[in-house]
A and B are shown apart, each in its own frame.
Chain A
Amino acid sequence: MRNAERLCLAHFWVAFAAFLAACILGTWQMWVRSPWGAHVGTPGQYFMSVTAHGVSMAYVLTTFFIMGFGYFVAVTSLGRPLPGRAWAWAAFWMGIVGVLMVLVTIALGQASVLFTFYPPLTASPWFYIGLVLVVAGSWVWCVLMLVAMREWKRENPRQPVPLAMFATVANAVMWLWTTVGVAVELVFQVIPASFGLVQTIDAGLARTLFSWTLHAIVYFWLIPAYIAFYTIIPRAAGGRLYSDTMGRLTFILFLVFSLPVGMHHLMMDPQHGNAWKFIQMLLTIFVSVPTLLTIFTITASLEIAGRLRGGRGVFGWIGKLPWDRPAVLATGLAFVMLAFGGFGGLINMGYGMNAMVHNTSWVTAHFHLIFGGSVVIMYFAIAYEIWPRLTGREHDSLAPLRWQLWLWFIGMMVMTLPWHWLGLQGQWRRVANFNYADPIIAAWGPWVIVSLFGGLVLLLSALLFVRNLAALHRSPMLHAQRPLYALAVHPPHRVPAALNGFGLWNVLVLVLMLLAYGYPIAQFVIEPSPAAMVHRVH
């Protein structure tokens, strides 16, 4: 791991610092919009906070964590030093500069456009340039992941790329495709408008370009959690991965189907017609396939572990799993949240049902549960697993780790389940204060307070998480350690090229993107929308 540890730790600390700050802001927001916070917080403060919270969670926590984890996987799973380490550090610092630009512009009230920044609302150009720097840093990471895999393949001809690295590179390739949408939107539309170089902007095109990024980005966030499911958890549970082949297939399916489905975020938009929206629903059904495959494969892997420990009968193996290990506990909790969060997602993608929930608290509930819940709890699990390897120290006790995971699960369920209900009642999003005098809204008050309590539990969990990691830096030296990566029941000796590289799949991505986005974007060139006036918020 020589010297890549500092690189990994640097990324993780930035990610988790942003995470903790965002948790504090999120809790404050929940108080302000609840009946108890009716006289607290101005709209200016609230939307500044929402922007900071969204940007920190969606862009900083995720990108930095994923980059750090990727560097770790590249070194440990391939057993060779990281290529281009100087580039990696340069990218890190560029990202830091970007983050600082973003935070300062937000704090000055010049960027209250939320993490989705839909024009014609326009913030300070330095906000957008800061985001571009973060993304550019991540592109360097993508290239380094590709280089690392290619060099390993050259040194190990005809060998299967270790699954953890294969999946990491799949994620990197997908991220390169994903960021094209928002990069084009920012560079060609939003940044010129924010500098005042143009006075109008095509809002329909901007929204469509952003949607290109908006769904695939959540799979960028999710794939590291799935990498843990396939390559770390079976070993942590004391078993084997049920199928290495299905693992490869899953990550390929994510690469191929995450991108063309972005327009399902535009189901309620007037700039696209029925036919395109129906195609979106079909493609979105396909992107649910890798998750459905995963829940079977990982459950089967855990079943192996449980049965090896003496579990009998149809369900006996569940109780026999080593739930005292944080990685295993996190997985169980993640799967429960995945069930509820996935359920919400199925409703969201409904061709008709989207109308029932779009831009209501149901949506907020869904992505907090599926991302903040299932995915982030696995980020915790990954951190707990690899921090000892990065620092050379071991956890003093696993009890606070388990406490922290349980608190996260309970807090997330208590916070998000009422939001689902409220969304069905029509509670809408991104509101600084509700008029609780209105009889319809008054009925929502008690549930808003319940979810506030969930948020407080989450804050406690977030503080405990940071404490658990910080404590490692002062804890006893690491002695023995079980290896990290799992073996498959049938470890592959040879895999077909299609399951060992991405050439074919890139072609498929291109074809699907042309199908799903070709005309929807081209229409704005063929017949530009009547342009909207730029509305500066700074």
Chain B
Amino acid sequence: MNPTDRSAASEPPSEVTDDIDEAALAEVMRVTPLGAGVLAGSAVALLVLGYLAIYLLVFLPRGPVG
């Protein structure tokens, strides 16, 4: 069970390149991270709303605790 060294996993990343065209990357980087901001931002906003909803509608009505 001896994989040969052609396994690319043995190359440290500093010597590895990928086949991404730098011009295409630059183009893409002009818009990124708009999508991520909207997607992740909506998810977090929903989480916060859900948190407040449970806090105000479920937790507080059950009475005080201390």
Interface residues of A (CB under 8 A from B): 1-2, 5-6, 9, 75-79, 159, 162, 164, 235, 238-240, 242, 292, 295-296, 299-300, 302-304, 306-308, 314-315, 317-318, 339, 342-343, 346-347, 350, 352-353, 355-356, 386, 389-392, 424, 478, 481-487, 489, 491
Q: List, in ascending order, chain B residues with CB within 8 A of A346's CB.
A: 47, 51
B10 and A303 contact, CB distance less than 8 A: no
Ordered by A's residue number, 14 sampled pairs between the chains whose C-beta atoms are within 8 Å are: A1-B3, A76-B9, A77-B13, A303-B35, A304-B29, A304-B32, A308-B25, A343-B47, A353-B55, A392-B3, A392-B4, A478-B3, A478-B7, A485-B16
B16 and A487 contact, CB distance less than 8 A: yes
Q: List, in ascending order, chain A residues with CB within 8 A of B36's CB.
A: 242, 296, 299-300, 302-303
B3 and A5 contact, CB distance less than 8 A: yes
B12 and A307 contact, CB distance less than 8 A: no
A300 and B33 contact, CB distance less than 8 A: yes
Closest to A80 in B: B12
Q: List, in ascending order, chain B residues with CB within 8 A of A314's CB.
A: 34-35, 38
Interface residues of B (CB under 8 A from A): 1-5, 7-18, 20, 24-25, 28-29, 31-40, 43-44, 47, 50-51, 54-55, 58-59, 62, 65
Top 6 closest pairs, chain A to chain B, by CB: A79-B12, A392-B3, A300-B33, A300-B36, A299-B36, A307-B28
Q: Which secondary structure dominates where chain A touches chain B?
A: helix
Q: List, in ascending order, chain A residues with CB within 8 A of B12's CB.
A: 77-79, 162
From the candidates A308, A342, A391, name the one contacting B20 in the complex (CB within 8 A): A308
Q: List, in ascending order, chain B residues with CB within 8 A of A295's CB.
A: 40, 43-44
Answer whether A76 and B10 are a contact pair too, CB < 8 Å, given A300-B32, A390-B3, A485-B16: yes
In the bound complex, how far is the Cα of B5 from the Cα of A392, in angstroms? 10
B35 and A389 contact, CB distance less than 8 A: no
Q: Which secondary structure dominates where chain B touches chain A?
A: helix
In the bound complex, how far is the Cα of B55 from the Cα of A88, in angstroms? 49
Q: List, in ascending order, chain A residues with CB within 8 A of B5's CB.
A: 1
Q: List, in ascending order, chain B residues with CB within 8 A of A75's CB.
A: 10
A235 and B18 contact, CB distance less than 8 A: yes
A242 and B32 contact, CB distance less than 8 A: yes
From the candidates B9, B10, B44, B62, name the one contacting A292 in the complex (CB within 8 A): B44
A352 and B65 contact, CB distance less than 8 A: yes
Q: List, in ascending order, chain A residues with CB within 8 A of B55's CB.
A: 350, 353
B1 and A6 contact, CB distance less than 8 A: yes
Closest to B8 in A: A483
In the bound complex, how far is the Cα of B34 from the Cα of A242, in angstroms? 13
- Within the complex, what minimum Cβ distance (angstroms) separates B7 from chain A? 5
Closest to A76 in B: B9
Q: List, in ascending order, chain B residues with CB within 8 A of A350's CB.
A: 55, 59
In the bound complex, how far is the Cα of B4 from the Cα of A390, in angstroms? 10
Q: List, in ascending order, chain B residues with CB within 8 A of A342's CB.
A: 47
Answer whether A239 and B9 are a contact pair too, CB < 8 Å, given A162-B14, A295-B43, A353-B54: no
Answer whether A389 and B7 are a contact pair too, CB < 8 Å, given A5-B1, A318-B35: yes
B9 and A389 contact, CB distance less than 8 A: yes
Answer whether A481 and B32 are a contact pair too, CB < 8 Å, given A308-B24, A356-B59: no
Could you say which of A5, A162, A292, A308 has the most chain B C-beta atoms within 10 Å of its C-beta?
A: A308
A79 and B11 contact, CB distance less than 8 A: yes
- Within the complex, what minimum Cβ distance (angstroms) separates B33 from chain A? 4
B10 and A1 contact, CB distance less than 8 A: yes
Q: List, in ascending order, chain B residues with CB within 8 A of A303's CB.
A: 32-36
Q: List, in ascending order, chain B residues with CB within 8 A of A318's CB.
A: 35, 39
Q: List, in ascending order, chain A residues with CB within 8 A of B11's CB.
A: 79, 483
- Within the complex, what minimum Cβ distance (angstroms) separates A305 from chain B? 9
A389 and B3 contact, CB distance less than 8 A: yes
Q: List, in ascending order, chain A residues with CB within 8 A of B9's CB.
A: 1, 76, 386, 389, 481, 483-484
In the bound complex, how far is the Cα of B2 from the Cα of A342, in angstroms? 41
Q: List, in ascending order, chain A residues with CB within 8 A of B2's CB.
A: 2, 5, 392
- Within the complex, what minimum Cβ distance (angstroms) separates A424 from chain B? 7
A356 and B58 contact, CB distance less than 8 A: yes
Q: List, in ascending order, chain A residues with CB within 8 A of B28's CB.
A: 304, 307-308
In the bound complex, how far is the Cα of B12 from the Cα of A308, in angstroms? 25
In the bound complex, how far is the Cα of B33 from the Cα of A307, in angstroms? 10
Q: List, in ascending order, chain B residues with CB within 8 A of A353's CB.
A: 54-55, 59
A296 and B37 contact, CB distance less than 8 A: yes
